[in-house]
Structure 1
Amino acid sequence: MRRMLLGWLVLALAGCASIPARIQANSAGLDYARITPFPDSVVHALRVDLQTVKLSVSPPAERGQAIDNMPSAAGALASINVSFFNKEYQVRGITISDGEAWEPVFEIARSPVLACDAAQHCVIELKPEKARPEWRNVMAGTPWLLDHGRQRTAEDDATCKNLCAMVHPRTAVGLDASGRFLIIALAEGRRPPVLGLSLAQMSAVMAQLGAVHAINLDGGGSSTLLLQGRSAMERPFNEPALRKVANALHLFAVPR
C-alpha cells in the first residue's frame, strides 16, 4: 500500500516543480502533495483511500463557522470546505451529514453530487433528482469537471464566464475509475502572481491526479484546507482570515 501511494505522488508530480509532503501522523490511507501544474499556480492535492479513511460532512448545527472553529473538525486528518451557500448559509444541492439531511436546499437539479453510503461506496451524479435512501454523506457543487474521463474545455467554460472561465481559488472532489480513491484538489489564488485556475484547468489537474469523475465545489475565499487542524493554504491577499462557510468535509483515520 505504501509503495502504491508513493507511486501516486510520483505520477501526480511528473512535470511539476514542487516537492511532495506527506502527512506523517495517523495518515494510513491519505496522501498529500503540493504541486505546480501551471506557471504561477499552487495546488494542494490529496488522495484518500475510502477503505481506510472515514468521511464526514459537518452537521447543519455548525453552519456559519470557519472550519477551524467547527467542533466536528476535532481529530480530523484533513478538512476542506464543501457547499455553495447563500447569506443564510443555506446550501446548494442535496446535502447530507452522517445521515442528517440539510433543509432547505436550493438548485437541486443543477447541482451535481458526490454521494457515499455507510460503507463508503461513493458515486458522482451530475444530474441528481433526489437523495437515495442509502446515501449517508452527500455534498453538492457546480458544475462538472470530469464526466467519465471527459475533461472540460475552454468552450465549456465560456457558458459560465465569471464562475468558470475566470481564474479563482478552487476546491474540487472526484473519484478514480475503481471508486476506491477520493481525489481532492484545492488551488490557491487571489494573491499575485498566484491568481487561481479556470475550471478547464482544474479539470486537467483532476485528470492528472487520477480522477475520472469530478465536480467543482465552492471556491474563492471559501477554499480551505486544514491538515491536522492547521491551515495549509496561503489566503487571498484581501481575505487573510478563514471565511465562515456552510459546511466542511472531514477525513478521519479509521481505528485498527
Structure 2
Amino acid sequence: MDMKTTTRPAFKQPAAPRTTTGKGKKNKRRRGGIGRFLIYLGTFVALIVSLIGGWLFLTPSGTNFRYLMADTLITTQHREWAKYIIGQEALDKRVQEYQNEFNAMGDERDTHTIHLSTAGANDAVTENQLVQIEPITGTGYRGYIMTVKDPTKIRLCVPAKAGRGEKVSSMVKRTGAIAGVNGGGFADPNWMGNGFQPIGIVISQGKIYYKDMGDKDSTQIVGIDKHGKMVAGRYSLKQIQDMDLQEAVTFQPRIIVNGKGLIKSPKDGWGIAPRTAMGQRADGAILFVVIDGRQPGYSIGANLYDVQQIMLKHGAVIAANLDGGSSTVLVKDGDILNKPSAQHGERYLPTAFLVYEHPEQVNIPNIWDGLKPQDIDPAKW
C-alpha cells in the first residue's frame, strides 16, 4: 500500500534580535554624561551668578564694590560704562558728589610754612642730593616717590611745538632736566591724546601762559610760589595773580592741608587708577608720588586715600592730586622709570614739572602766546 507522505514546510528561524555593540553603548553613555555635565554646569553657573548678583545688589559690601568699580571707570575714557554698574542716574549723582567734595576740599586756606635746609638752598647742591627716588609698594600697586630737596629747582615745562603736546621724556631731554613728572590735565575729546590744550590755568616762570577762565571764576591749582612754598587749593583768578606763583597748573583735589588728610577712608578714594600727586614737607622738600595701574599681575593702581597715606607717611603737610591715568609718568636722566598704562606708551602732554640743577638757565617759551582757547582744536594734531 502506498504510503502517502506529507511534507512539512521548512521551519523558518526567526531573525536574531539586533544587539548594540560595545562601541554604541559607550557613545550613548558619553552623550548622556556630557548632557548631565552641561546641566550641572549650567545649574552651577546660574547659582554662582545668582549669589554674586545677590551680594552685589543686596549687601552693603557688594554695593561698596559696585561703586568702587564705577569710580574706577569714571577715571578712564570709558566713564559711560559705569552706568551699567550703578545706573545713569546714580552715575550722574556720583560725579556731581565728587565734584562738590573736591571743591570743598580746596576751600580751607593753607597756613603751612617751610624752612629750607642749607643744603637745599645751596646752588652747589649735587644732583644726588637734590633728587632722591625710591620704590613704593602697597596692596595691588607699585610705584615711586621722588623727593626734590630744593623746591626752587622745579620749573613747569610746556611743549616746544604748537598744535601738539610733548612727551615728558622729550621735555627732559630737550631742556636738560634731571627728572620730571606729568603735570595738569588737558582737553582730549576723541581720547587720542593730542595734549595741546590745557584745562584751567598754566603758570611757568612766574607768568600766566594759558587760561580758559574769567576774572571772577575760580579753579583748583597745584604749584609752587616764588619762595618755594607749595600752593594747592581753590582760588579765583585775581587771587592767583596776587599769590606770586612761580609754577602752577589746574588740577584737583587737594588731599592734605595743614598737615591733615582730607580723604577719610578708602571708599572715598575715587576708584583705583594710575596716580600722580605732589606734596611738600615742612623742610620745603617737594614729594612726587607716581603709581602705576591698569596692569594686572604688576600693578592695578591706587585710590586717592592710598596716595594721601603715602604722603602723610613721608611727612607731607600739603598735597594734591595731579593728572593720572594714562598720563602718569616718571622720568629720571632721560629714562622712564615707571610703566605708563597708555596703549602706545607715553602720552603727549601740555605740562610737566621738571627738576633742574640750574633752572635760571632754562628758557621755556610760551607756546600758547597769541592763542585763545577757541583758536585750538584739541581733536587735531
SS of residue paired to 2:129: coil
Q: Does 2:314 match 1:209? A: yes
Higher strand share: 1
Equivalent residue, structure 1, for 2:158: 59
Q: Does 2:226 match 1:127? A: no
Structure 1 residues 215 and 195, CA, compared in 2 at 3 Å: closer, same or farther?
same
Normalising by structure 2, we get a TM-score of 0.53
Q: Which runs of 5+ in 1 are unaligned?
A: 6-24, 159-163
Q: Does 2:276 match 1:192? A: no
Q: Which whole-Å CA distance do the structure 2 matches of 1:132 and 1:116 have between them? A: 11
Amino acid at match of 1:124: V
Q: Which whole-Å CA distance do the structure 1 matches of 2:306 and 2:127 have between them? A: 32
Structure 1 residues 77 and 66, CA, compared in 2 at 3 Å: closer, same or farther?
same
Q: Which whole-Å CA distance do the structure 2 matches of 1:187 and 1:128 have between them? A: 28
Per the TM alignment, residue 157 of structure 1 is displaced from its structure 2 partner at its CA by: 6.0
Structure 1 residues 56 and 65, CA, compared in 2 at 3 Å: closer, same or farther?
same
Per the TM alignment, residue 145 of structure 1 is displaced from its structure 2 partner at its CA by: 1.2
Per the TM alignment, residue 54 of structure 1 is displaced from its structure 2 partner at its CA by: 1.2
Specify which of 191, 195, 209 is matched with residue 102 of structure 1.
209
Work out whether residues 29 and 49 of structure 1, in 8 Å CA contact, stay in contact via their aligned partners in 2: yes
Q: Which whole-Å CA distance do the structure 2 matches of 1:113 and 1:157 have between them? A: 24
Work out whether residues 158 and 350 of structure 2, in 8 Å CA contact, stay in contact via their aligned partners in 1: no
Per the TM alignment, residue 152 of structure 1 is displaced from its structure 2 partner at its CA by: 3.5
Larger mean CA deviation between 214-223 and 189-198 belongs to: 189-198
Normalising by structure 1, we get a TM-score of 0.77
Q: How does 1:100-249 map to 2 (within 5 A)?
A: 100-106=207-213, 109-117=218-226, 120-130=227-237, 131-133=240-242, 134-153=244-263, 158=268, 164-178=269-283, 180-193=284-297, 194-236=299-341, 239-249=343-353
Q: Which whole-Å CA distance do the structure 1 matches of 2:253 and 2:186 have between them? A: 15
Work out whether residues 96 and 138 of structure 1, in 8 Å CA contact, stay in contact via their aligned partners in 2: yes
Q: Which whole-Å CA distance do the structure 1 matches of 2:218 and 2:173 have between them? A: 28
Identity of aligned residues (%): 23
Q: Which whole-Å CA distance do the structure 1 matches of 2:334 and 2:165 have between them? A: 18
Q: Does 2:130 match 1:29? A: yes
Amino acid at match of 1:215: A
Equivalent residue, structure 1, for 2:147: 47
Q: Which whole-Å CA distance do the structure 2 matches of 1:99 and 1:145 have between them? A: 25
Per the TM alignment, residue 55 of structure 1 is displaced from its structure 2 partner at its CA by: 0.9
Q: CA RMSD in A?
A: 2.9
Per the TM alignment, residue 114 of structure 1 is displaced from its structure 2 partner at its CA by: 1.9
- Cα displacement string for residues 62-120 of structure 1 (whole angstroms, at most 9, x for unaligned residues): 55111122377532111100001113632233321113312233596241322321xx4
Per the TM alignment, residue 209 of structure 1 is displaced from its structure 2 partner at its CA by: 1.4
Asked which structure has the greater CA Rg, the reply is: 2
Amino acid at match of 1:49: K
Higher helix share: 2
Work out whether residues 90 and 104 of structure 1, in 8 Å CA contact, stay in contact via their aligned partners in 2: no
Q: Does 2:200 match 1:93? A: yes
Q: Which whole-Å CA distance do the structure 2 matches of 1:216 and 1:156 have between them? A: 15
Q: Which whole-Å CA distance do the structure 1 matches of 2:349 and 2:201 have between them? A: 16
Per the TM alignment, residue 39 of structure 1 is displaced from its structure 2 partner at its CA by: 2.2
- Cα displacement string for residues 210-243 of structure 1 (whole angstroms, at most 9, x for unaligned residues): 111000000000001100111000132x624101
Equivalent residue, structure 1, for 2:70: none
Q: Which whole-Å CA distance do the structure 1 matches of 2:335 and 2:293 have between them? A: 19
Aligned length: 224
SS of residue paired to 1:28: helix
Q: Which whole-Å CA distance do the structure 2 matches of 1:73 and 1:210 have between them? A: 33
Q: Which whole-Å CA distance do the structure 1 matches of 2:224 and 2:236 have between them? A: 13
Q: Which runs of 5+ in 2 are unaligned?
A: 1-118, 121-125, 189-194, 360-381
Work out whether residues 200 and 211 of structure 2, in 8 Å CA contact, stay in contact via their aligned partners in 1: no
Larger mean CA deviation between 165-174 and 80-89 belongs to: 80-89
Equivalent residue, structure 2, for 1:79: 180
Equivalent residue, structure 1, for 2:112: none
Q: Which gives a bigger RCO, structure 1 or 2 (Cα 8 Å, sep 6+)?
A: 1
Q: Which whole-Å CA distance do the structure 1 matches of 2:175 and 2:134 have between them? A: 22
Work out whether residues 113 and 215 of structure 1, in 8 Å CA contact, stay in contact via their aligned partners in 2: yes
Work out whether residues 84 and 141 of structure 1, in 8 Å CA contact, stay in contact via their aligned partners in 2: yes
